[in-house]
Amino acid sequence: MTDPVRILVVDDSRLARMALASKLRGTYQVHEESDGESAWQKLLVDPSISAVISDLQMPRLDGAGLVQRVRASKQSRLQSMPIIVVSGDEGEAERERVRQLGASDFVTKGAGTSEILSRLNNLLALVAARETLEAGRQSMVQDPASGLFTRKYLEHQAAQALSHATRSGVDLCIMVLGFDAFDQVCARLGPDLAERVSTRFAKMLAGKMRTEDSLGHFGPGQFAIVAPGTSLPLFTAFAQRVREAVEVAHVPVQGQPVRLTVSIGVASVPSDEADTALALLELAGQRMLEGMGSGGNRIVAGAGGPAALRQIKVQRALELIAAQRSDVVRTQLGQLGVELLPLLHLMNQDLGLNLPMADIERRLRDRTSNKK
């Protein structure tokens, strides 16, 4: 059973408070305050209060002042809280002033129990309906599990960005990234845990984005970024940093390391021809799949032919080895070795290592030639 809704009754007359409280008890839980100032302090510290019934004429802070403070609050719960004002001999001008300040409704002093309950019930039902509507709207914007934008809302953001880009002549870039072999990750961890792991990476990515960029879900284990006003070279470089960061990430799940890579598809205007934002998103998604089909762990931006891995530099190779990703380094070991040959020659000479340099150089160059 849920606790009854809590109502705050405010009146400087103890007898008036008791009379009103007696009408509400049984249906609502009632708390009483004797003036507007005390009521205001109570509202600030007690989030369980759902509505206020207040007299107008009170010391320290009258009913009009209380209504004004509540509506000016930065707390959304107070801004929308039902406030019923108990009106006595006040004229219509005074009632209108309080209504303009934000009073939800008026009841006259001495009103019957049924009238008070009816008005209070209607106001609380209206608040509940608004909250339900807002929750439904929010669920269309944000995924309830991850807190990231839904794909539907991301499409809306992309449409707005494309419209602005078309009118203003600025660039728009979209990235779709997906975790390679995600079906195998799901088989190993289970679909729910696999999705949580991928979302953890996405949230880390969110901290490195601009405030004007939008990140959201695209598909299972797949996410998209809409970046208005970003040039294709800069965005592709950002995509490369994202790919490399995932490549060396070490994420323990249930005590076991999970190694992941991503493939990223990039689409942009004006570089790509796309009539709609949805077409641009789908193009980036198709390029992501092309990257996965070419071996994964790569970027396809559409301007440079087939998907390909960027040549690993020596410093990057050391980072990958430290992250226990030697498998990635082995694919480019020949080229890395050729780059290090001058250093090996120097070490061999100065340290007297007597390495078979001619044989080492031949093997490295053969391996490099076989990779071409």
CATH number at residue 95: 3.40.50.2300
Tens-digit pLDDT string for the chain (372 aa): 457 899 999 999 999 899 999 989 889 999 999 999 999 999 999 999 999 999 998 989 999 999 999 999 988 889 989 999 988 766 778 888 888 999 998 888 878 888 888 889 888 888 887 776 555 554 556 676 777 888 888 888 898 888 888 888 888 999 999 999 999 888 888 888 888 888 888 888 877 788 888 888 899 899 999 999 888 888 998 998 888 888 887 777 777 777 888 999 999 988 888 888 899 999 999 999 999 998 899 999 875 444 445 566 777 677 767 766 677 667 777 787 888 888 888 888 888 888 888 888 888 888 877 655
**342 in the same domain as 298:** no
Distance between CA atoms of residues 344 and 352, nearest Å: 11
User: What sign has the CA pseudo-torsion 12, 15, 20, 22?
Assistant: positive
In angstroms, rounded to a whole number, what is the distance separating the alpha carbons of residues 299 and 330? Answer: 19
| Model pTM score | 0.54
Residue 322 is assigned to a structural domain of this protein:
no
Structural domain includes residue 101: yes
**Last residue of one domain, picked from the residues 141, 160, 188:** 141
Residue 326 included in any domain: no
Same-domain pairing of 267 and 351: no
Residue 93 lies in a domain: yes
The residue range of the domain holding 116 is 6-141
79, 112, 141 - which closes a domain: 141
Clarify whether residues 44 and 157 are in a common domain: no
Choosing from 113, 141, 169, the residue where a domain stops is 141
Say if residue 211 is in the same domain as residue 247: yes
Does residue 82 contact residue 102 with C-beta atoms inside 8 Å?
no
The reply to whether 101 and 132 lie within a common domain is yes
- The span from the CA of 92 to the CA of 106, in Å, is 11
Q: Quick one: 61 and 199 in the same domain?
A: no
Answer yes or no: do 247 and 365 share one domain. no
**pLDDT for residue 137:** 53
In the chain, where does DSSP find H-type helix? 14-24, 36-45, 63-72, 76-79, 92-101, 113-141, 151-168, 182-189, 191-206, 232-248, 277-293, 314-322, 326-330, 333-351, 357-371
Q: Which residues contact 264 (CB under 8 A, 6 or more apart)?
A: 175, 176, 177, 239, 242, 243, 288, 291, 298, 299, 300
Give the chain's domain count.
Answer: 3
> How many C-alpha atoms does 276 have within 13 Å on its Cβ side?
5
Tell me whether residue 327 is in a domain: no
In terms of domains, do 177 and 125 share one? no
Do 363 and 258 fall within a single domain? no
Residue 325 located in a structural domain? no
Separation of alpha carbons 39 and 56, rounded Å: 13
Residue 308's pLDDT is: 46
Residues 126 and 159 occupy one common structural domain: no
pLDDT of the residue at 305: 42
**Is 320 part of any domain?**
no
Strands 29-33 and 6-10: parallel
Q: Do 229 and 301 reside in the same domain of the chain?
A: yes
In a domain, 323, yes or no: no
Residues 285 and 168 in one domain: yes
Q: Which CATH number covers residue 251?
A: 3.30.70.270
